[in-house]
Amino acid sequence: MAVRSYYLDHRGSVHTDLPPGRLTDAVSSGKGLLWVDICDTTESDGAFLSDVFGFHKLAIEDCVETQIHPPKIDDYGNYLFLLVHGINHAAGDTEVVETAELAVFIGENYVVSNHNYPLYSVEAVVHQVESGTRPLERGPDFLAYLLIDALVDNILPTIDLLSDIADEVEEEAITTSNPATLQSIQRLRRSIRSIHRTMVPQREILNRLSRGDFPLIRKQALVYFRDIYDHLVRIDDLNMNIRESADNAI
């Protein structure tokens, strides 16, 4: 169970690595902002999410299960539950791009992030929080924005890499009939499909977050989620351009 916590209390002081009892007190107080991050989720983490936050068992199951779920957003009234995807950089040098799942709970005075692999995006936000209180001072919706924005930004280097690969295999397809080139094209196409499958529903989630569908997302935060939506549209457009290059190579 790898759990980190940061709590900005109503006096402006930040407390880290709170025990479960103090986490429960922080949530029930309705004051300040609590961020809990869980990595490499276990069954005991599921019990923790139930005991401290009282989350719905279906949302907890999505966190504990190791299988990848499609992106989605569920409104449980006093909190939102999101599943969004980024690139699984922890997968190492795999031939086909893999995605990693980030679950985010957004409450009135808390954010809980959950993931089964280390994520660069989460570490980037941890660095911001440990460098100053401003990310916590701006509320749970803004903290959730930071997490999702960093996750989406980390997709772009992979898109650039796939674009370079597409240029190479397209050139190879013109100059050679090597069967290895066909295998490279097929791996590229599988990576493109993997990214596209997550971008389409993810765009709709960000569209809903940006248009005021949920009371927990304040009006002043809508523009930030719209910015992520625009990034996702651009990423999918770039991804489809790569698919066109792969099709030309075929």
Res 32 pLDDT > 90: yes
SS3 142: helix
Q: Which long-range contacts (CB under 8 A, 24 or more apart) does 95-99 make?
A: 95/187, 96/187, 96/190, 96/191, 96/194, 97/158, 97/162, 97/191, 97/194, 97/195, 98/194, 99/68, 99/194, 99/195, 99/198
Task: Give the span between the Cα atoms of 100 and 118, in whole angstroms.
Answer: 9
**pLDDT of 93:** 59
**pLDDT of 176:** 76
| 63-75 pLDDT per residue, tens | 999 888 999 999 9
| 78-119 pLDDT per residue, tens | 999 999 999 987 765 567 888 889 999 999 999 999 999 889
Mean pLDDT of 2-9: 93
Mean pLDDT of 27-56: 94
| Helix H or strand E encompassing 73 | strand 72-75
Res 152 pLDDT > 90: yes
Smallest Cα–Cα separation from 125: which of 141, 110, 101, 146? 146
* Sign of CA pseudo-dihedral 214, 217, 219, 224: negative
Tell the residue number behind the tokens 């499909």, with chain if given.
Answer: 193
Q: What is the pTM of this model?
A: 0.92
| 160-209 pLDDT per residue, tens | 999 998 888 888 888 877 788 888 888 999 999 989 999 999 999 999 99
Give the distance between the most distant pair of CA atoms in the chain.
Answer: 69
| Helix H or strand E encompassing 16 | strand 14-16
Res 230 pLDDT > 80: yes
Mean pLDDT rounded to a whole number for the chain: 92
CA 68 to chain centre: 12
